Amino acid sequence: MFIKRYSEFRCIMPTFIHSLSDVDNHRSKIWSASFKLDQDVCHLFPYINAVLDEAVYYEKPEHVRFLFEGYRCFLYPDSVAAHFFESKTAAKDFIACLIDFLNDIYNQKEDIRPNYNQIKQVPIIDILKILPKTNCQKCGYLTCMAFAAAITKGKVAADKCPSLASPISENAVYPIFDNNGKLVNSVSLQINTSKLKNRIQEQHEQILMLEASLRTSNQNENQGDSPQISGKSDFGLTNREIEVLKLISQGYTNNEISGILFISPHTVKSHMINIFNKLSVNDRTQAAVLATQNEII
DSSP 3-state of 73 = strand
* Residue closer to ligand SF4, measured from CB, 14 or 132: 132
* Residue closer to ligand SF4, measured from CB, 112 or 149: 149
CA dist., res. 30 & res. 8, Å (int): 20
CA dist., res. 278 & res. 285, Å (int): 15
Q: From the CB of 185, what's the least distance to ligand SF4, in Å? A: 19
**Cα–Cα nearest to 192, from 163, 164, 159, 162:** 159
* Residue closer to ligand SF4, measured from CB, 98 or 130: 130
Write the binding mask 92 to 131 for ligand SF4: x where contact by CB under 6 A, - elsewhere.
---------------------------------------x
Touching ligand SF4, residues 150-179 (CB under 6 A) = 161, 163
* Residue closer to ligand SF4, measured from CB, 135 or 293: 135
Query: Contact, 228 vs 220, CB < 8 A?
Result: yes
186 is an interface residue for ligand SF4 by CB under 6 A: no
Write the binding mask 127 to 146 for ligand SF4: x where contact by CB under 6 A, - elsewhere.
----xx-xxxxxx-x--x--
Positive or negative torsion for Cα 140, 74, 67, 192: positive
Query: Contact, 83 vs 94, CB < 8 A?
Result: no
Binding-residue total with ligand SF4 (CB under 6 A) = 13
DSSP 119: B
Q: From the CB of 188, what's the least distance to ligand SF4, in Å? A: 18
- CA dist 130 → 116, 154, 260 (Å): 28, 17, 36
Residues at the interface with ligand SF4 (CB under 6 A): 131-132, 134-139, 141, 144, 147, 161, 163
